Chain A
Amino acid sequence: MTDRNRIIIVGAGHNGLVCAAYLARARREVLVLEASDRVGGAAITREFAPGFRVSACAHICYQLDAGISRELKLGAHGLKTAHANLRTVALATEGDHLVLHGGRLEAGLLPDKDRAALADYHDRMLRFARVLGKQHNRRPPRIGGGGRSELIAAAMLGLDIRRLGRDPMREFMRIAGINIFDVLEETFETPLLKGALALDAVLGTNLGPRSNNSVLTMLHRLSGQATGVTGGLSLPAGGMGAVSEALAAAARAGGATVRTGSPVASITLEGDRVSGVELESGEKLAAGTVISNADPARTLLQLVGARHLETGFVHRIRNFRSKGMAAKLHLALDGLPGFARLAAQRAGDRLVIAPDPVYIDRAFDHAKYGQCSPDPALEITIPSIHDRTLAPAGRHVLSAIVQYAPFDPRASTDAARAEFLERTLGLLERYAPGLRRQVVASELLLPADIEREFRITGGHWHHGELALDQILMLRPVPGAAQYAMPVDGLYLCGAGCHPGGGVMGAAGRNAAHAVLGGERAA
């Protein structure tokens, strides 16, 4: 009966690996099956031009759960940082750039009022983010069903909010559902500052700054810092793939087997239970428990198949909003780009192009109608400044998240990609004159490309929009937010579950706990 005890994890994204590592620590027999030929999912480093390597999706690490790093001894498994504390530079076309570090302004000009407001804003948001952060390590409660323990879990959530204190709690309830645009308007004057802060709220989402929910996504992003990550905004040495490699090493050290190049074609059932998986190669592997790191739609509608689920549940899964809008740009450069008026040592920081919230909002408006933004907003890193392993000597890689690009552009994906690349390079040229001539090779991944390469349905950063209607006990769908799916022995462990995406690992660990807890209950 070894098969029934075996746990198969479909997908070696960082969450799948975290899940594997925790299960292995609990002495379970774990087999991880990854379709691609390297581990990491959307947290990988790969070559995109001869000699040039880049963090292909996620490029800045700011949410990795400190507890996970510690418990899984990622340091011992080889994880190092190339730079542990990036500043954010809000690039200006004219005048001074703003260099921000947490709630502090390190360079550039801001009126006193904004400077004071910035510190206050940062503290306030960090407190709220902490409330969210606390939920990261918990299984979301069911509300109005499921008995006493669920009631207690729900009460805990309420209590966390209440512990903020009366006035902050009121403020939290006020802003949780609204948009970053309004919050920034009431707090600051300087457009460039507002733009940079607004970008934090919309990166990886299908929201403009004026869309409600964008405060929530900003808090989600901050929540990593709030719970104490391995140092602010960081660049892992060797790129984001290093995180996944370390996780894989931890999982293997615990006894898990990780097989790459093994795409799973389907999750097989026997009666009401999972019985294992079948690979695209035709190979069948038996298991009593299957945990999927793939996104919810892929897992349930493709790998399990709608026919093995019930209509209402399928309807909910199909309505899980998962169309991404973030594109990823990789440039191979034959030298260090010269950003106008930017001190050379700052070029290795997190550079953002988001001159003001209205600019971002306009960019978003085009994407609503299926066009790539003519003037996109960017988050740029040049990791090769800190990490010489990524590019040949004297050369550099630029990695940027570019928003917005619709999942299904009205023009063909190829036409949209070509035009978007052109517009983005044109924009970069305005900030870093001469950059275009430095480009040796380029790659632009639209959400549809991300779907194809990374097997994320919709190409969404979080496997599915992170919004009030899709968080906590609503994620991915109500009734199946506790990692266990309505097929016995089937679990989800990826970004599509609570607490969502970003290189964090919490979903993987919570899922492992749900599996272990479920076994105990059974």
Chain B
Amino acid sequence: MTNYDAIVVGAGHNGLTNAAYLARAGLKVLVLERMPWIGGAAVSREIEKGWMYSNCSYVCSLLRPELFRDLELARHGLQVVPYGGGVTITRTGDVLGNYTDEDVQRREFARHNPRDGDAYHRYSTDVIRQCKFIRPLLLRTPPDPTSFKPRDIRELIYLGREFTKFGEQFIYDTLRFYTMSIADFLGEYFESDLIKAHLSGSGIIGSAMGVYSPGTAYVLLHHYMGDVDGSIGAWGFARGGMGAVSNAIASAYKSFGGEIVTDAPVERVIVRNGRVAGVATANGNEYRAKIVVSNLDPKRTFTKLFDEGDLNPEFVKRARNFKIRGSSGKLNIALDGLPEFPALGRDNPLRFGDIHFLDSLEKMERAYDDWKNGTWSKEPYLDLLIPSMTDPTMTPPGKHFMSVFVQYVPPKIHGRDWTDQDRDGFKNTVLDQIGRYSPNFKSLIRHVEVRTPRELEDEVGLTEGNIFQGELTMDQLLFNRPFPGYAQYRGPVKGFYMCGSGTHPGGGVMAAPGANAAREILLDLKRPSLVPEGWQDD
């Protein structure tokens, strides 16, 4: 048995970020990971020989540049390459593309609806304003509005000031934006149903809501608030797949003297005299530390790692009621060549980005209805990318890797567990949809890895397969994340902390929760904080 200053349970990218800062502050830190590999949902694995898969997350934008730079991730091997393009293809073969040049983008919209072309400018101005407001909050610990502690009051005042900085109308717009549906929000800008459908995808990715559900407009922001090299809303690929992010953070962590043990599923957090004393793993090892940090989602953390007796029953109820419904699935496909999309024609640069097959908001909403009715969408919303076109290191020459994110996929089928048969049915639904838009696609398939919520839960440990470690709704955001009163990364037992995506600012490969949690831990230890402040985003 060994003693550590701090143990981090889970080697997801947030756990690793947290561990890196603790180690850098001079603590003796151990990361325990259940799987043989690290990274959690930010992982690359060679599933088919020669093919590097981004098994879960697949694109990068949210990763805080302050942390990227501070941990010198480039020196540790990380490179994020922005991609261009992105396109929606309709049933009738019409296309709507994304372009980096503002004017080209406008003309593309105008082609579908002249007024919408000009409205796009208003739309992006308003969304950017929202991004400007939220970005500086990502690397801050949310204040507790019920508290009278000086720090909370100071932070509330800061928040208030940030909030009022953009003026009275912005405040109203923000209140509306955070509570509206993406469909209503887009309706205030655009007339074309196709344009609305095209833009609405960001409002529902990973969420258990439909485009008509109030609250989805905010989810859109969650996908826009990142950037690649200051280009807000742009996305990129991590060279070598998303595992490269976790690997680089792990490498930084190790350079600070940190230790990682894989194949070490933690079974229990040991609590003695009301404070944590260490952890016990499934294979019978015990590790001691006065600080234990969980990278797992809050529900799993408090319903699986703790003896219920160590927690207050009200708190256990909170944890049980934490909303973490799975709604997404994924297909990872090794291809023998590049699929053709006749609607795009040859060599269309739009193919380098995310491809969708959509027609209308109604089609999106119906996909959600299927989920509510306990089955995967019969016409799912796909976010399809071929990263190997931008990053040839992922596959053998001439071969390709396709990542297909699928919305909606329920955690249970009509209330019962997924069967292998269901999984095949789901796979075929997705492959068929792609096949309808790409005649040569199916003939190129070499291997398909299917992830339903069942696999996401089993392999990554995401409860119900929720990709964000908890839904992004008002009741679970900012000072409500994961639970009101526990948004400052501290758990209900002394010495216990949370650092996963289930904490503020939420899901995505962002590294902010891990860094923020480290700031709080170092504060409690009365050590100087090494965690960088967010850049003033002016």
Does B323 sit within 8 A of A, measured CB to CB? yes
Given contacts A171-B484, A469-B179, contact A478 B213 (CB under 8 A): no
Does B282 sit within 8 A of A, measured CB to CB? no
Contact with A along B60-102 (1 / 0, CB 8 A): 0000000000000000000000000000000000000000000
Given contacts A210-B372, A469-B175, contact A319 B188 (CB under 8 A): yes
Contact assessment for B484 and A478 in the assembled complex, using a CB-CB cutoff below 8 Å: no
| B430-479, CB < 8 A from A | 473-475, 479
Given contacts A173-B484, A474-B176, contact A144 B473 (CB under 8 A): no
Contact assessment for B179 and A182 in the assembled complex, using a CB-CB cutoff below 8 Å: no
Contact assessment for B168 and A145 in the assembled complex, using a CB-CB cutoff below 8 Å: yes
Does A322 sit within 8 A of B, measured CB to CB? no
Residues from chain A with a CB closer than 8 A to the CB of B369 are 365
Contact assessment for A469 and B372 in the assembled complex, using a CB-CB cutoff below 8 Å: no
Does A307 sit within 8 A of B, measured CB to CB? no
Does B124 sit within 8 A of A, measured CB to CB? no
Does A166 sit within 8 A of B, measured CB to CB? yes
Most-contacted residue by chain B among A142, A145, A174, A175 (CB, 10 A) = A174
Contact assessment for A177 and B172 in the assembled complex, using a CB-CB cutoff below 8 Å: no
Does A310 sit within 8 A of B, measured CB to CB? no
Contact with B along A320-332 (1 / 0, CB 8 A): 0100000000000
Q: Tell me the smallest distance from the CB of A172 to a CB of chain B, in Å.
A: 9
Does B145 sit within 8 A of A, measured CB to CB? yes
Residues from chain A with a CB closer than 8 A to the CB of B176 are 469, 474, 478
Report the contact-size class of chain B (Cβ under 8 Å from the partner): 35 or more
Contact assessment for B215 and A170 in the assembled complex, using a CB-CB cutoff below 8 Å: no
Q: Tell me the smallest distance from the CB of A97 to a CB of chain B, in Å.
A: 26
Contact assessment for A144 and B168 in the assembled complex, using a CB-CB cutoff below 8 Å: yes
Most-contacted residue by chain A among B172, B187, B479, B483 (CB, 10 A) = B172
Does A25 sit within 8 A of B, measured CB to CB? no
Contact assessment for B485 and A361 in the assembled complex, using a CB-CB cutoff below 8 Å: no
**A143 CB contact (under 8 Å) in B168, B178, B180, B214:** B168
Contact assessment for B172 and A212 in the assembled complex, using a CB-CB cutoff below 8 Å: no
Contact with B along A148-181 (1 / 0, CB 8 A): 0000000000000010001101110111111000
Does B303 sit within 8 A of A, measured CB to CB? no
| B155-183, CB < 8 A from A | 163-164, 167-173, 175-176, 178-180
Given contacts A170-B485, A467-B214, contact A212 B179 (CB under 8 A): yes
Residues from chain B with a CB closer than 8 A to the CB of A469 are 175-176, 179-180, 184, 214
Contact assessment for A212 and B167 in the assembled complex, using a CB-CB cutoff below 8 Å: no
Contact with A along B466-510 (1 / 0, CB 8 A): 000000011100011001110000000000000000000000000
Does A213 sit within 8 A of B, measured CB to CB? yes
Does B212 sit within 8 A of A, measured CB to CB? yes
Does B273 sit within 8 A of A, measured CB to CB? no
Given contacts A144-B163, A173-B480, A319-B188, contact A468 B475 (CB under 8 A): no
**B184 CB contact (under 8 Å) in A171, A174, A210, A321:** A321
Most-contacted residue by chain B among A171, A365, A368, A469 (CB, 10 A) = A469
Does A186 sit within 8 A of B, measured CB to CB? yes
Contact with B along A202-224 (1 / 0, CB 8 A): 00000100111100000000000
Residues from chain B with a CB closer than 8 A to the CB of A368 are 212, 365
Given contacts A178-B474, A182-B323, contact A212 B214 (CB under 8 A): yes
Q: How far, in whole Å, are A469 and B171 apart by their CA atoms in the complex?
A: 12
Contact assessment for B173 and A478 in the assembled complex, using a CB-CB cutoff below 8 Å: yes
Residues from chain B with a CB closer than 8 A to the CB of A207 are 214
Contact with B along A461-488 (1 / 0, CB 8 A): 0000001110001100011000000000
Contact assessment for B214 and A211 in the assembled complex, using a CB-CB cutoff below 8 Å: yes
Residues from chain A with a CB closer than 8 A to the CB of B479 are 173
Does B118 sit within 8 A of A, measured CB to CB? no
From B484, which residue of chain A is reached at the shortest CB distance?
A: A170
Residues from chain B with a CB closer than 8 A to the CB of A468 are 175, 178-179, 214
Q: How far, in whole Å, are A182 and B322 apart by their CA atoms in the complex?
A: 10
Q: How far, in whole Å, are A368 and B212 apart by their CA atoms in the complex?
A: 8
Q: How far, in whole Å, are A178 and B215 apart by their CA atoms in the complex?
A: 9
Q: How far, in whole Å, are A142 and B180 apart by their CA atoms in the complex?
A: 20
Does B348 sit within 8 A of A, measured CB to CB? no
Residues from chain A with a CB closer than 8 A to the CB of B173 are 478
Given contacts A171-B484, A211-B213, contact A177 B475 (CB under 8 A): yes
Contact assessment for B214 and A174 in the assembled complex, using a CB-CB cutoff below 8 Å: no
Given contacts A170-B485, A211-B214, A468-B179, contact A177 B473 (CB under 8 A): yes
Does B2 sit within 8 A of A, measured CB to CB? no
From B168, which residue of chain A is reached at the shortest CB distance?
A: A145
Residues from chain A with a CB closer than 8 A to the CB of B214 are 207, 211-213, 467-469
Given contacts A166-B146, A478-B169, A479-B169, contact A175 B179 (CB under 8 A): no
From A477, which residue of chain B is reached at the shortest CB distance?
A: B172
Q: Tell me the smallest distance from the CB of A410 to a CB of chain B, in Å.
A: 11
Contact assessment for A169 and B146 in the assembled complex, using a CB-CB cutoff below 8 Å: yes
Q: How far, in whole Å, are A301 and B485 apart by their CA atoms in the complex?
A: 46
From B187, which residue of chain A is reached at the shortest CB distance?
A: A319
Q: How far, in whole Å, are A353 and B480 apart by their CA atoms in the complex?
A: 35
Q: How far, in whole Å, are A175 and B474 apart by their CA atoms in the complex?
A: 9
Contact assessment for A143 and B179 in the assembled complex, using a CB-CB cutoff below 8 Å: no
**A178 CB contact (under 8 Å) in B184, B188, B362, B475:** B475
Residues from chain B with a CB closer than 8 A to the CB of A169 are 145-146
Given contacts A142-B168, A144-B167, A469-B175, contact A170 B180 (CB under 8 A): no
| A327-347, CB < 8 A from B | none
Does B321 sit within 8 A of A, measured CB to CB? yes
Q: How far, in whole Å, are A518 and B176 apart by their CA atoms in the complex?
A: 28
Q: How far, in whole Å, are A368 and B211 apart by their CA atoms in the complex?
A: 11
Residues from chain A with a CB closer than 8 A to the CB of B179 are 177, 212-213, 467-469
Residues from chain A with a CB closer than 8 A to the CB of B323 are 182
Q: Tell me the smallest distance from the CB of B503 to a CB of chain A, in Å.
A: 15
| A181-236, CB < 8 A from B | 182, 186, 207, 210-213
Residues from chain B with a CB closer than 8 A to the CB of A315 are 188
Residues from chain B with a CB closer than 8 A to the CB of A186 are 321
Contact assessment for A174 and B172 in the assembled complex, using a CB-CB cutoff below 8 Å: no
Residues from chain A with a CB closer than 8 A to the CB of B474 are 176-178, 212
Q: How far, in whole Å, are A212 and B321 apart by their CA atoms in the complex?
A: 16
Residues from chain A with a CB closer than 8 A to the CB of B480 are 170, 173-174
**Further contacts, 17 of them, CB under 8 A, given A365-B369, A365-B372, A479-B169:** A143-B164, A143-B171, A144-B171, A145-B167, A173-B145, A173-B475, A174-B484, A177-B474, A186-B321, A207-B214, A211-B213, A361-B372, A368-B212, A369-B366, A468-B214, A469-B179, A479-B172
B: residues with CB less than 8 A from A are 145-146, 163-164, 167-173, 175-176, 178-180, 184, 187-188, 209, 212-215, 321, 323, 362, 365-366, 369, 372, 473-475, 479-480, 483-485
17 of the cross-chain contacts (CB-CB < 8 Å) are A143-B168, A143-B171, A143-B172, A144-B171, A166-B485, A167-B485, A173-B145, A173-B475, A173-B480, A174-B475, A178-B473, A178-B474, A469-B179, A469-B214, A474-B176, A478-B176, A479-B169
A: residues with CB less than 8 A from B are 142-146, 162, 166-167, 169-171, 173-178, 182, 186, 207, 210-213, 315, 319, 321, 361, 365, 368-369, 467-469, 473-474, 478-479
For the complex of A and B, the 9 pairs showing the least CB-CB separation, nearest first, are A177-B474, A478-B172, A170-B484, A145-B168, A468-B179, A469-B176, A212-B215, A212-B214, A144-B168
